[in-house]
């Protein structure tokens, strides 16, 4: 019995007819996860770059103005939504434009602030209107200077990997610009 069993075991161990199918069954789920992970990583990087561009262009457009109105700010929020396409900035994000001024030798204060519509419950890291502005270390304003700050918030949810441990992430981008023509310390109706 032993003589007949050993050749069968050796023959079974050397047989390679089903090995490709087994390798495919083991390797295919791993390859699919790698592919989906690469897709999500590329999508996340694209979104982060778009948000940085939205913050920079929004602050720059406000800083170029020789006065700002509520209608222009509404147009800027629409342009920010369009710039973030194909991502839904109006639905899962928020843009906050803030004007910081230092009219006297006191601390810089928030002169005005406008927030876009959106479902993200985000508050400005700079502060609120009339309060002392919280600026990053190394960024100082001299007396009489003005600063425009554009902040962009976005709640990112993965397309494919949302059911795994890769859940949503909150993204934040900010841009600081000094007005080029006049200090923008108020918004006209």
Return per-residue pLDDT of the chain as tens, 189 residues: 566 667 766 666 666 666 767 777 888 899 988 888 888 889 999 999 999 999 999 999 999 988 899 999 999 999 999 999 999 998 899 999 999 999 887 889 999 999 998 788 889 999 999 999 999 998 888 898 999 999 999 998 888 766 556 677 889 999 999 999 888 888 888
What is the pLDDT at residue 95? 96
In angstroms, the CA 171 to CA 97 distance is: 17
Residue 117: inside a domain, yes or no?
A: yes
pTM beyond 0.85: the answer is no
The number of folded domains in the chain is 1
Residue 189: inside a domain, yes or no?
A: no
What is the pLDDT at residue 98? 96
Residue 184: inside a domain, yes or no?
A: no
User: Phi, psi at residue 170, to the nearest 5°?
Assistant: -95, 125
**Residue at token pair 């406008």:** 114
**Residue at token pair 């050993």:** 6
What is the pLDDT at residue 104? 81
Q: Is the peptide bond before 98 cis (omega within 30 degrees of 0)?
A: no
Residue 159: inside a domain, yes or no?
A: yes
CA atoms within 13 A on the CB side of 55: 22
Residues spanned by the domain of 98 = 4-177
Residue 67: inside a domain, yes or no?
A: yes
């Amino acid at each position: 019995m032993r003589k007949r069993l050993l050749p069968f075991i050796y023959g079974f161990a050397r047989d390679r007819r089903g090995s490709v199918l087994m390798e495919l069954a083991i390797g295919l789920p791993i390859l699919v996860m790698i592919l989906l992970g690469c897709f999500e990583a590329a999508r996340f990087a694209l979104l982060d770059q778009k948000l940085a561009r939205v913050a920079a262009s929004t602050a720059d457009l406000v800083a170029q103005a020789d006065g700002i109105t509520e209608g222009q700010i509404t147009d800027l929020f629409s342009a920010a939504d369009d710039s973030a396409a194909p991502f839904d900035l109006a639905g899962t994000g928020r843009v906050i434009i803030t004007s910081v001024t230092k009219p006297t030798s006191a601390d810089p204060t928030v002169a005005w602030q406008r927030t876009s519509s959106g479902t993200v419950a985000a508050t400005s890291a700079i502060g609120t209107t009339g309060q002392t502005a919280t600026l990053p270390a190394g960024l100082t304003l001299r007396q009489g200077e003005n600063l425009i700050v554009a902040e962009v918030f976005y709640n990112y949810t993965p397309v494919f990997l949302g059911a795994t441990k890769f859940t949503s992430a909150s993204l934040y981008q900010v841009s600081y610009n000094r007005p080029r023509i006049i200090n923008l310390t108020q918004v006209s109706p």
